[in-house]
Amino acid sequence: KAGVTQTPRYLIKTRGQQVTLSCSPISGHRSVSWYQQTPGQGLQFLFEYFSETQRNKGNFPGRFSGRQFSNSRSEMNVSTLELGDSALYLCASTKTSFTGNEQFFGPGTRLTVL
Amino acid sequence: EDQVTQSPEALRLQEGESSSLNCSYTVSGLRGLFWYRQDPGKGPEFLFTLYSAGEEKEKERLKATLTKKESFLHITAPKPEDSATYLCAVQAGGTYKYIFGTGTRLKVLA
């Protein structure tokens, strides 16, 4: 069974540019969450999408946005990039069953802002 | 405020030296507590989900336990391949937000 895939794996951008990251969840998983991981802050929740609707949002500025398509694939967009946006961006898809939730993470997209 | 604190930040063990990692949490209505393993440059790998105090789960050399305020990840007779960062997270009730701790970096020496 294929895992969560994220593209691209690496990105280098300059300040002021914008970037779009893509995530394909595990087949059958309808929930996709996005996280930012940095050495100083650890894993910070960005937002979660379920059936094309944003179900939850973390404490990030409006420059960070996302969306989910009908096939559950999700994209995350960051506009007007800042140096502090350099991080590993992780996507996770959630398997929901009667026993609860399990999150499965992709390999991440390493974003470097120069 | 929902919060997760992991200790210690880093731990060095000799191969075969058992130990425990701690995850203490404050959350409004626990929906679940999760343990992950993360290797450098990779996404976290799911290990366990615990839902209620008293629950225990095991997988190979790892055993996770849960109380009303904290969770422990016990590592029995660790091997060098167990070296990784172990992350704990909680899902808060009323929302679907996951709150992560900053992790424990485990190094097992041969």
Name which of B55, B100, B104, B105 to mutate to probe chain A: the one with the most chain A Cβ atoms within 10 A of its Cβ: B100
C-alpha dihedral, A29 to A1 to A106 to A68, nearest 10°: -30
- A1 pLDDT more than 70: no
| Amino acid code (one letter) for B52 | S
Tokens of B89: 């997270």
Per-residue pLDDT at B41: 86
What does the pLDDT read at residue A33? Answer: 95
Name the residue among B45, B46, B98 with its Cβ closest to that of A45.
Answer: B98
User: Taking a C-beta distance cutoff of 8 angstroms, is the pair A107, A22 a contact?
Assistant: no
Out of B46, B87, B99, name the one closest to residue A102 (CB). Answer: B46
Query: Which tens digit of pLDDT belongs to each residue from B55-93?
Result: 999 999 999 999 999 999 999 999 999 999 999 999 888
Which string of DSSP letters, residue by residue, matches A30-79?
Answer: -EEEEEEEETTTEEEEEEEEETTEEEEE-S--TTEEEEE-TTS-EEEEE-
- B4-47 per-position pLDDT tens digit: 999 999 999 999 999 999 999 998 888 899 999 999 989 999 99
Residue A102 confidence class, pLDDT cut points 50, 70, 90: confident
